Amino acid sequence: MADRLYLDVSVLNRPFDDQLQARIKLETEAFLAILERIEAGEFAMVGSSVLDFENGANPFAERKERVESYLKLASQFVKVDEVVKERAETIATFGFKSFDALHLACAEMAAETFLTVDDKVIKRATDRAGELDLKVLNPIDFVRTEIRK
């Protein structure tokens, strides 16, 4: 079975950020490489009602539609239920913002890896790694360590 990935909205929107900044350009390229491999079936993408909700609030129609097209590639979907809510409440006690905790709780239900470009989430997840049931990585680090040539 393909590794299952949960890409947060910050990753899914990376192609719309300022590509003149080297880090953003590299993260965009990493995201696009991951997306290609999802489309090829090498990795499976996990969607969630939290991703749909967050993307639905995007005021930029073009971005919202593009991210929606990415989310349609998800082969698994996690809905927020009582189990997810309870886990999110626990994750929030680790210092994560409520919305980030919901994303992480959804990801734990179906994915092995959570991808984000949010440095604070990555740092906190690294500090609390033993308490989360998934890896939390920047897309660049994921490509560097997980994608086989």
Residue 146: the pLDDT is 85
Structural domain boundaries in the chain:
3-146
* Architecture label for domain 3-146: 3-Layer(aba) Sandwich (3.40)
Spatial CA neighbour of 105 closest among 117, 118, 93:
93
Interatomic CA distance for residues 149 and 136, integer angstroms: 22
Nearest to 47 by CA among 84, 27, 73: 73
The pTM score is 0.95
Work out the percent of the chain whose per-residue pLDDT is above 90. Answer: 95
Q: Whole-number mean pLDDT of the chain?
A: 95
